Structure 1
Amino acid sequence: MICPLASVEEVFATSQGAVYQCSRKNCYWLEFQGNTTAFKVSDFFVFKRSVDQIDIEAMLNNSSRSFDFELIMPFRTERCFLLSVEDVLNLRDLLAGAKFMLELNGQIRSILRRDAVLAI
């Protein structure tokens, strides 16, 4: 559950979840699999990299039961993620979309600042 006192803005959402940015606490909230997890900014991107590094091909090709799921325990959170192949793909999609929107927002702000300086 996102803190009711927080000032959050939706960064990106899919049918599987959403990522919100909290300007009050300077963090990101990930809503996925019916749970909400708070991440410090740097930890959010570390988590994204760890999800991106999951070997989907090995999960699909190995018939051992230990390869059916991937367990990820993000740094400085109280949550662990038990992910199937479908969950990994859905989470990758959500995190990639959020990262793109954050980068796009940064580029837009940079251009607007530059144009404001040139107008003066």
Structure 2
Amino acid sequence: MSEVMMALDNNQLELVYETNRASLHQCDTSEIYTLRFNSEVVEFRVCQLIAFKRKIQKIDLAQMFADDTADIEIVYMPHCDRLFALNIHDVLQLKELFAGAFTMLELNSMIHKELVRRPL
């Protein structure tokens, strides 16, 4: 984790998107994405980030609101041996973060393609 904090201090991590409780940063040199959420810092490679996003998207919020089920969702990420115990607000925050972050990444990719295709 100290490498992540040093990268943040040295401005090596670029902010992709942030909400009021979470942010996603990327490091172009190491191709690592850093999620800061609820005072936790987790690093992901691209495939791991997409896998985590898909797990969050599959969470059924209507079922979490039901009286007969728990209002906590447990998400396990094997790459970092970490369990996430997420309540409804956490799930909503992560869904918002991923929607915005992946939109920004797609937009960045489209801009990059146009710049490469048409040299200035």
Q: Tell me which residue corresponds to 1:74.
A: 77
Q: Return the offset for 1:96.
A: 1.2
Unaligned runs of 5+ in 1: none
Q: Say which of 40, 44, 50 aligns to 2:49.
A: 44
Residue identity opposite 1:111 in structure 2:
E
Does the 8 Å CA contact 1:31/1:37 hold for their aligned counterparts? yes
Deviations 1:65-86 (A, max 9, x none): xx21001011301322111111
Task: Flag structure 2 segments of 5+ consecutive residues without an equivalent.
Answer: none
**AA matched with 1:4:** M
1:87-107 Cα offsets, whole Å, 9 max, x none, are 101111011111111111000
TM-score (norm 1): 0.88
Report sequence identity in percent. 33
1:9 counterpart (14, 21, 33): 14
Do the aligned partners of residues 10 and 85 (structure 1) sit closer, same or farther apart at CA in structure 2, a change above 3 Å counting?
same
Identify the residue that residue 67 of structure 2 maps to in structure 1: 62
Q: Could you say what the CA RMSD is over the residues aligned between the two structures, in angstroms?
A: 1.5
Deviating 4+ runs (over 3 angstroms):
none
TM-score (norm 2): 0.88
- d(CA) in 2 for partners of 1:74 and 1:97? 21
CA distance in 1, matches of 2:25, 2:115: 23
The structure number with the bigger radius of gyration is 1
Task: Give the residue type in structure 2 aligned to 1:23.
Answer: D
Q: Deviations over 1:15-62 (max 9, x none)?
A: 111000012321100000110000011110110000000011111123
**Could you say if the C-alpha distance between residues 20 and 93 of structure 1 is closer, same or farther in structure 2, counting changes exceeding 3 Å?**
same
How many residues were matched structurally?
115
